[in-house]
Chain A
Amino acid sequence: MTTPFRPVNSVSLPATPVVCNPPGDLAVGARGIVKAFGVGDARTLALKGADFEASQGELHLIVGPSGCGKTTLLSVLAGTLLSDQGEVNLFGTRLTGLSASEVTRFRCRNIGFIFQQFNLIPTLSLVENVSVPLLLNGTLRREAEAKATERLRQVGLAGRERQLPTQLSGGQQQRVAIARALVHEPRLVICDEPTSALDSLTGHQIMELLSTAAKAPGRCVLIVTHDPRIYGYADRISVMEDGRVTHVHAGVLLSSFIHSENRS
């Protein structure tokens, strides 16, 4: 379930975000990201010079109304979409300076993905699904499956390794997706609406897992969401509107933002 979003500052939107209390070392940095889709009259600017920062050890939410560019920004930060302008820096590596194959290798080693629709391969067992990132990184199958089994145990799916994703509930599938995203110990975990397809209780259980994952040393969890029920798990929330990050809430301001959102 999604909640209509109201910006905190409804009077004027600053060109650069209001940043409050950045916590640790920089994990993700983006400056002046511009991304357009289509050509000619159909050309649409999805990102209009967006700036973004996230630190290591934090769970960072990106929120905003539909069409504001959240998913596009997430795709650019994850290196799955090339921006037209701007720079992306992940853990000290300038992503925009890498070749396509280098970006692919970087993603493979350093980023874990959790998708809204889980994107588990339906014909593979849970353990095979979870071992995919390890296999992509060159781990041998036996070792990969051992690690995947351990990850499944950690997300509460011990003993179900050989089942197929279709035999699981939505929440359980998302747990498998989390296990898959974390199995190769990535430094950045990218989540696209991880709770939108789940009920409230399951959504909270999933967020507990992600919140714990974000506390791992040197890791950062980025979540794009419409779901105000999970705002309470965030260390920081970046608010996007019209292709830019307009506000960043942390600390005391974060609590007041969450409070105001929940009231609305």
Chain B
Amino acid sequence: MFLLALKMLLGDRAKYWMLVGGLAFSSLLMTQQYSVFQGLLAWTTSHMRNMRASIWIVESRVDQVNETKAMRDTDVNRVRSVEGVDFAVPLFQGVLKARTADGADKMIQMIGLHSGTLYGRPPHMIEGDISQLRLPNSVVIDTLAAEVTRLGSGVGRPLKVGDVFEINDREARVVGICKTERHFFGYPYVFSSYDQALQYAPRQRKMLSMILAEPKPGLDTAVVAQRIMAETGLRAFTVPQLEASTLRWVWTNTGIPISFLTTIVLGFVVGVAVCGQTFYSFVLENLRNLGALKAMGASNSLLAGMLLFQAMIVGLIGFGIGIGLTALFGLTIAQSGQPPFKANAVFVFQSMAAVLVICALAALFGIRRVAKLEPAIVFRG
């Protein structure tokens, strides 16, 4: 009977495609928007993956990794003096201006690394040697800076190792090109030594943005971070703590989650509305046939099962098309890297569950109608 139920649905091509289309659109809206949202959230914590430190120490009022409130240079030594800290190094991070190929100014994300250890250096060097950051006026740029932003006045092509450009009217010589995860602000990364970064940045009374630290081998990172906070009054985060704090900050201080969640919820509601209405109208149009089946001895549970089966099948087909379109979107934008896109297997299954819930709700309207249907309807004119 379930095969016949499927044929009944497939036979009504207009309704079938309307259902599949509605569910595919709904799936696309939910999964695509969620993936972009996830990508955006991932961008907010990209500093942590681009600089990889165990403990991040910031000024006591800082809540997230992208925020800087400058500290005194002496704070590095205070952290170093905490028991359990293996080493601690200063880090500069700030947004500066660089000159592009066409002579315009472009904002860059400047990261100044401790020149002794280069702790916090980018994980993937494509070209050049990171240790040359110790040379004067040298920088390592990421691929975004080299290829997309086209830094370098008069160069007119992607920057290469050995090329020179300007940061705040000061010379910057490219000694390496690295691969980084893109930052939430969309600025390209430019790494230099801490001292050099201070030369590029406009002078202020306090310039230390962050302190990166490593606990002694065998010690618990969270315990050491806690100890740093207790002894220095600064705020110390482990990686998971900083990630959670940053995401919490984004959720509570920006309209981004609300905006994306609204779209995702709308996708669900549109799915329920389109699918529910179409499926209910399919049931109404087939009421006489369903009544005939009921008269011939089809039980309410069998008819409910048939309707649920029909709904679930179109749900899975619609979801398949929707997730396929989302994947296509992801692959298409993978080249440019914008908008951010981060597919999540768990959410794929959650979306599938949401689509099946939509289908179950749609079927429920029909099932209620059929359950109340008197088989004697078939004898009425």
When distances are taken between beta carbons in the complex, the residues of chain B under 8 Å from A80 are 294-295, 374-376, 378-379
Count of B interface residues, CB-CB < 8 Å: 28
| Closest chain A CB from B1 CB (angstroms) | 5
Per the bound structure, the CA–CA distance linking A7 and B20 in Å amounts to 57
**Would you call B288 an interface residue if the criterion is a C-beta within 8 Å of the partner chain's C-beta atoms?**
yes
In the complex, how many angstroms separate the beta carbon of A113 from the nearest chain B beta carbon? 5
B289: A residues at CB distance < 8 A? 119, 121
> Interface-forming stretch among A134-142, A150-158, A228-236?
A134-142
Chain A stretch 198-256: residues in CB contact (< 8 A) with chain B? none
A116 at the B interface (CB under 8 A) = yes
Asked if A119 meets B298 with Cβ closer than 8 Å, knowing A124-B8, A128-B7, A135-B4, the reply is no
A78 and B11 within 8 A (CB): no
B3 to chain A, nearest CB (A): 7
**B297 — nearest CB in chain A belongs to which residue?**
A108
B379, A107: Cβ atoms closer than 8 Å:
no
Q: Which residues on A sit within 8 Å (CB–CB) of B302?
A: 136
Residues in chain B near residue A117, CB distance under 8 A = 288
Cβ–Cβ contact B1 & A81, under 8 A:
no
Q: Which of B4, B292, B296 contacts A108 (CB 8 A)?
A: B296
Question: Does A21 have its Cβ within 8 Å of any Cβ on chain B?
Answer: no
Interface pair B297/A104, CB less than 8 Å apart: yes
A237 and B288 alpha carbons, distance in the complex (Å): 29
User: A115 with B3: in contact, given A124-B8, A137-B297 (CB under 8 Å)?
Assistant: no
Contact assessment for A132 and B293 in the assembled complex, using a CB-CB cutoff below 8 Å:
yes
Which residues of the other chain, A, contact B379 by a CB distance below 8 angstroms? 71, 74-75, 80, 115-116, 192
Q: Does B262 contact A (CB under 8 A)?
A: no
Given A75-B379, A80-B374, A121 contacting B8 (CB threshold 8 A): yes
Supposing A81-B376, A123-B12 touch, asked if A133 and B381 sit within 8 A by C-beta, the answer is: no
A109 at interface (Cβ–Cβ under 8 A)?
Answer: yes
Q: Does A23 contact B (CB under 8 A)?
A: no
Residue of A nearest to B8 (CB): A123
Among A97-125, those with CB < 8 Å from B are 101, 104-105, 107-109, 111, 113, 115-117, 119, 121-124
Q: Is the CB of B7 within 8 A of A124?
A: yes
Task: State whether A128 touches B4 (Cβ < 8 A).
Answer: yes
Interface size class of A (residues with CB under 8 A): 20 to 34
| Residue of A whose beta carbon sits closest to that of B302 | A136
Contact B298 A136 (CB under 8 A): yes
The answer to whether B7 and A119 touch across the interface, beta carbons within 8 angstroms, is no
Q: Judge whether A101 and B299 touch: CB under 8 Å.
A: yes
Q: How far is the CB of A134 from chain B (nearest CB, A)?
A: 10
Tell me, yes or no, whether B205 is within 8 Å of chain A by CB. Answer: no
Which residues from B are CB-within-8-Å of A78? 295, 376
- A105 neighbours in B (Cβ, 8 Å): 297, 299
Nearest CB on B from A138, distance (A): 10
Complex Cα spacing A101 to B374, Å: 13
B4 touches A132 (CB 8 A): yes
B203 contacts the other chain (Cβ, under 8 Å)?
no
Q: B residues engaging A (CB < 8 A)?
A: 1, 3-4, 7-8, 10-12, 286, 288-289, 291-299, 302, 374-376, 378-381
Can you report 29 A-B residue pairs in the complex whose CB atoms are below 8 A from each other?
A71-B379, A71-B380, A75-B376, A80-B295, A80-B378, A80-B379, A81-B376, A105-B297, A107-B297, A108-B296, A108-B297, A108-B298, A111-B296, A113-B296, A115-B292, A115-B378, A119-B288, A119-B292, A121-B292, A122-B11, A123-B10, A128-B4, A128-B7, A132-B1, A133-B296, A133-B297, A135-B1, A135-B4, A136-B293
